[in-house]
Amino acid sequence: MADLAKLSIHQVTLLQQCTTPQFIETMAHHDVRCASLWRDKVREHGVERTAALVADSGITMSGYCFGGLVTSPDAREAARARDDVRRALDEAAALGAPCLVFVAGGVDPAEKSIANARTRALDGIADLIPHARSVGVKLAIEPLHPMICATRSVLSTVGQATRWCDKLAADDIVGIAVDTYAVWWDPDLEAEIARAGKRICAFHVSDWLVDTQDLRFDRGMMGDGVIDIPGIRAMVERTGFDGWVEVEIFSQRNWWKRDTDEVVETIQERFESAT
Amino acid sequence: MADLAKLSIHQVTLLQQCTTPQFIETMAHHDVRCASLWRDKVREHGVERTAALVADSGITMSGYCFGGLVTSPDAREAARARDDVRRALDEAAALGAPCLVFVAGGVDPAEKSIANARTRALDGIADLIPHARSVGVKLAIEPLHPMICATRSVLSTVGQATRWCDKLAADDIVGIAVDTYAVWWDPDLEAEIARAGKRICAFHVSDWLVDTQDLRFDRGMMGDGVIDIPGIRAMVERTGFDGWVEVEIFSQRNWWKRDTDEVVETIQERFESAT
C-alpha cells in the first residue's frame, strides 16, 4: 500500500473544474499536502496572489509546469522562448516550487532536422542554467512520449536525458523528471532509470488507456490502463528517490468532466491501490 | 534524386479505393514494379486468385503484411495466434513475398506486464521459425511506434529488435523491418540501424504530420511532415541494404479519400523529391 503522505496532485488534473484558488482550497479540503501548479492557470490568477494563497495554505509545492519550447531555428524566437523560461523560473521561485518542468520543444517543419532541434534544446538549457542557479529553481528536464516529439519534445527517453545531463555537467541545478505515461513503453527503462540515479528530481504518474484517443489529452487514472505503475515507481525509488509522487492526468473525455471531489477521492484511493 | 526503380507501394496506401485486382492493375498502369500486399484485402479476393494475378502482372512482391499479435497470456489464444501466423507465412509463400511483416502484439490489460508480453513475443517468434524456414519466408520483425505499444507492438525500437535477433540466432529467417514513421524520433536511431546491419530486410516510408490526429491512421505523404526520410534512408543503405523502399501510408482523412491515380502520381513525385 502506497503511503498517501507522498501524494502530490498536479493542478492540470483539475484544469477544467477549478480556478487556482479553488484548486488550492480543494487540496486543503482533502488533506492533500503537496501540489504542482500549472503555469497558465497561475498566471490567470496572478503569480503573487497565488504565492500568497500557497503560503497561507501550508501546501508544499512539488513543481511548476512548464517552461521550455526552445528549439526554434529562428534565433529571435528561440531567444524569446528562453526569456520566457527565465520568467517561469522567477515565478517558480516566488511560488516556492523546487523545480520547473522543462519541455524541450519540437522539430521545425521546414527544417525537418531532429538533430538540429536537439542541439538547440541542449544549448538552450545551458544558456538558462545561470538564471536557474540565481533563483535556486531546478530545471527538471522531462522526456515526453515519442508521439509528441514533433511538436513538444525532442527529448524522448530517460537515457537521452541522462546523456544531456552528462553534457550539461550541472547536476546541482538540472535534474530529470520521470513520467510513467511518457516512458513506460521503453525497452531499456529499468537500466536507464538506474543510470539516471540521483538526477531524478520529479516523478509523475498516470496510466495509458488501451483505447487512447488523443495524443495529449487522454491520459488514464492509475489502475485504468496497462502501465505497471508500482513497478516503475520501485525502479525510481531504488535510485534513492524519496520525493513526491505527482499525479498528472490530462483527460478531456473523462476526468476533466467529473466532479472535483470525485476526482480527488479516486486519486487517493488509486494512489493506495495502484501506485 | 531517388531512383524510382526502387519504389514499392504498399496496398494499404490504397486500402479504401481499390480491391486487390484494382490495386494490381493500378500498379501495372503506373509502371510501379514492386508492391507489398495487405493480408485482409488479399483474403477478401482469395489468396490463390491473388497469386495468379500477381504472377500475370510481373510485379515483384516486397512483402506481405502482416502476421503476429502473439502476446496473449491465454495459452490457447496465443497458440491460435501462432497458427494464424503460420497460415500467413503460407500465403506469403504462395504470393511470392520474401517476408511476412511481423507485429508482436500488445500488453494484456489485466496482466499489465510489458515484460511478460515481450517474453511471450520472443517465444512466439522462436516457435514460428521452423515453419518460416520450411516455406522460405522471412519473419520481418517490425518495431512499431511506442504510441501503439499497448495494443499492437511491445517491440518499439530497432535496438530492441536487434537484441531479439541476437537471442533468436536465426538470421537466415528472421530479419528487421525499419519504418521511418515508427522510429524517426529515436535518439539512438543511427547507431541502432548501424548495429542492425544486414538484418534489415525491409524498409518502409511515410511521414509524421505535425497535426497528427489519430494513433494509427493519420500518416503523411513523404515531404508533408517532419521526418528527414532521405537521412534515415541513407542510414539504412549504409548498412548495405539495397532493397525496395516501400511506401506505406495509412491516411483516413486524406490519402484514402483521394483518387487512385492522384495518390500514385504523388507518391512517384515525392519518391524522387523527398525520399
At residue B254, what is the residue type? N
pLDDT, residue B1, reads 45
pLDDT tens readout for residues B45-65: 999 999 999 999 999 999 999
- Name the residue among B113, B147, B154 with its Cβ closest to that of A146: B147
pLDDT, residue B174, reads 98
Instruction: Give B176's DSSP letter.
Output: E
Report yes or no: B230 at the A interface, CB cutoff 8 Å: no
Mutation for B interface: A69, A71, A72, A107, most B CBs within 10 A? A107
> What whole-number distance in Å separates Cα of residue A147 and Cα of residue B209?
11
Instruction: Give B258's DSSP letter.
Output: S
Ramachandran area for residue B255 (φ above 0: left; ψ -120 to 50: alpha; else beta): alpha
What Å distances lie between residue A86 and A79, A94, B78, B243, B272, CA to CA? Answer: 11, 12, 54, 50, 44
pLDDT, residue B2, reads 54
Report yes or no: A275 at the B interface, CB cutoff 8 Å: no
pLDDT tens readout for residues A203-232: 999 999 999 999 999 999 999 999 999 999
Report yes or no: B107 at the A interface, CB cutoff 8 Å: yes
pLDDT tens readout for residues B198-250: 999 999 999 999 999 999 999 999 999 999 999 999 999 999 999 999 999 99
pLDDT confidence band for B3 (50 / 70 / 90): confident
Cross-chain Cβ contact A187/B227 below 8 Å = no
Instruction: Give B251's DSSP letter.
Output: B
Q: How confident is the prediction along chain A (275 residues), in pLDDT tens digits per residue?
A: 457 999 999 999 999 999 999 999 999 999 999 999 999 999 999 999 999 999 999 999 999 999 999 999 999 999 999 999 999 999 999 999 999 999 999 999 999 999 999 999 999 999 999 999 999 999 999 999 999 999 999 999 999 999 999 999 999 999 999 999 999 999 999 999 999 999 999 999 999 999 999 999 999 999 999 999 999 999 999 999 999 999 999 999 999 999 999 999 999 999 999 99
What Å distances lie between residue B251 and A255, B206, B262, CA to CA? Answer: 30, 10, 14
At residue B194, what is the residue type? A
Q: What is A4-274's CATH topology?
A: TIM Barrel (3.20.20)
Show residues of chain A in contact with B185, CB under 8 Å: 114, 146, 149-150, 154, 156
pLDDT, residue A2, reads 54
- Name the residue among A146, A186, A226 with its Cβ closest to that of B107: A226
What Å distances lie between residue B249 and B20, B179, B184, CA to CA? Answer: 17, 11, 15
The domain locations on chain A are: 4-274
Q: Cell 522531462 sits at which residue?
A: A142
Ramachandran area for residue A38 (φ above 0: left; ψ -120 to 50: alpha; else beta): beta
Report yes or no: B220 at the A interface, CB cutoff 8 Å: no
For the entire predicted model, the pTM comes to 0.97
Task: Write down how long chain A is.
Answer: 275
CATH number (3.20.20.150, 3.30.70.20, 3.40.190.170, 3.40.250.10) of B4-270 reads 3.20.20.150
- Rounded to 5°, the CA angle B74-B80-B83 comes to 140
Show residues of chain A in contact with B215, CB under 8 Å: 147, 212-213, 215
Instruction: Give A216's DSSP letter.
Output: S
pLDDT tens readout for residues A107-148: 999 999 999 999 999 999 999 999 999 999 999 999 999 999
Which among B211, B160, B215 is positioned nearest to B188, based on CA atoms?
Answer: B160
DSSP string, A46-96: -HHHHHHHHHHHTPEEEEEEEEE----SSHHHHHHHHHHHHHHHHHHHHHT
> What whole-number distance in Å separates Cα of residue A136 and Cα of residue A201?
14
Q: Cell 522543462 sits at which residue?
A: A102
Cβ atoms of residues B228 and A113 within 8 Å: yes
A:B CB pairs within 8 Å: 94
Q: Distance from CA of residue A233 to its chain's centroid? A: 15
B184, closest residue in chain A (CA to CA): A114
CA atoms within 13 A on the CB side of A26: 24
Cβ atoms of residues A103 and A142 within 8 Å: yes
Show residues of chain B in contact with A118, CB under 8 Å: 187
> What whole-number distance in Å separates Cα of residue A6 and Cα of residue A202?
12
Bridge partners, residue A141, by sequence: A102, A176
> What whole-number distance in Å separates Cα of residue A16 and Cα of residue B232?
41
Mean pLDDT of B85-94: 98
